[in-house]
Chains A and B, each alone.
Chain A
Amino acid sequence: MALEFLEGNEAIARGAMKANCNFFAGYPITPSSSILQHMLDLLPRDGGIAVQAEDEIASIGFCIGAAMAGSKVLTATSGPGISLYSENIGLAIIGETPMVIVNVQRQGPATGSATKGAEGDIQFTRWCTSGGLPVIVLSPATVGEAYELTFHAFNLSERYRVPVFLLTNKEIGLTRESVDLDAIELPSPVERKRVAMGEEYLPHDFDYPSAVPAFADFGGEHITRFTTSTHDKAAFLATSPPLIQEMIDHYTAKVDAAADELALVKQHLEDGAETLIVSYGITSRSAAVAAREARAIGVKVSTLCLQTLYPVPRTALISAMNGISKIIVPEMNMGQYILEVERLAPAGIEIIGVNKMDTTLISPDEILEQGGLR
């Protein structure tokens, strides 16, 4: 066993390399800049390309171009950069572009407390571009999970041809932890399904709405097209309402249909517990301590830690709510994911948000006290 002392940002770069990422473009922004730095160090040695672009718009533009040429691409920024990515995220959705986007969240709005942590971009990530179509959002709680979920993010983006977000936080990105990455079990890297040689090719072909179209690289053996405009399966402009709806249903169905498969959660459900703590990201770790302390004083508490935020792991959430009379949702924002919990909770359940945006972590004590556990 070989331990390393790594920050989350480096673990993300290592996870990307493990997933065979071969293209990175980014723009410096605290607290994500060290991902750019690590990718600049790792990728060119491996025959890949890592570049610093002139701004965030160019970063994601380079990545979309490279992804459509067949590369496995990563870009990384913080909340303000996601604002600038926004229009291109829509392009990646409509073009069915596999790509991984890291948001190392910092305290906002605007420049905010640039060097301090927060988790204020939860709903923003889900609804980050016009049209409101679904994306996949994963959120690690530890440095090890940052590595693991980056790897999964690549696999999901390849499998579903959709942008996948890794939503992390300065508190994980820039905190070093003792970790043994080699001890983390990972599946094989997934490669996007490519059209077979000689087959006729349509860039957005599918037999049923949730099917994921085969991919042809720009510059490969099949002539291919990509367009920002509403289009048909051949990527030609579409103006017929039924055809437009068919494509919208496709983008939606392929992510929604996979909701259960995509639901990465860690749960500790206690028999007879009446309280459930639903958490994600760094705050999951305070929730774990709070639950342990509550149990130590004889209060039964279940915990559900979400690694997949979107699509919402509905089945896991609903099943964890079974027999529960109180749900505590601690968040380093003013109450965002609690909206998803409220949507799924049966009537009569008390739902308590523990919220803070002063740049410091929510402590186990704050969860215990504001959650009424002691």
Chain B
Amino acid sequence: MGLNRIKRISGSLKWLFTGMMAVPPLAACVVWLFLDHWLAKDGGTSLSLMGSIPPNIPVLGPITGGMKGLGLLVTLAPAGLQMALFWYLARLFGLYQQGAIFTIESVGCLRRVGAFLLIGAIVQPFHGALVTLVLTMNNPAGQHMITLGLSGDPIGKAMTALVVFLISWIMDEGRKLQEDQALTV
């Protein structure tokens, strides 16, 4: 009964994460293609609240197509990492849906989820720095900016990654125990 519930919930989560794979690249496109609209609306406050751009960046120059394209390119790297994270989460819950809980494949998926979370946490401050550089690339001379900040968000992601790694080790031990049990006559 418990396993059936796990299978049912995992099936829903599998589709949820599969669908969520489309969100990061779409969000990146919406942010950068309509950058002038966002900046005219509230000076970029809503974008910084969403975590798309660092806060308080003075965009003084014209917003050109090149700037938008470069910004999109810079943002597609972490978006790709998020897509990979959602892909492995979807695969993990797909395996759980099939009842493959303590298996090498599911443990591997969990490890990759942890790895992508950790890489995302490392990449995030550098992404912020590059976004700042892109946003201020058309500013008057002497007003270009590059900021490298370490906020609570990447630290939280790194901590989550470590917890996921620990859980994957525990799951691997569980897999070994299950294998021993299956091969006990």
Q: Are A and B a genuine interacting pair, yes or no?
A: no
Chain A residues with a Cβ under 8 A of chain B: none
Chain B residues with a Cβ under 8 A of chain A: none
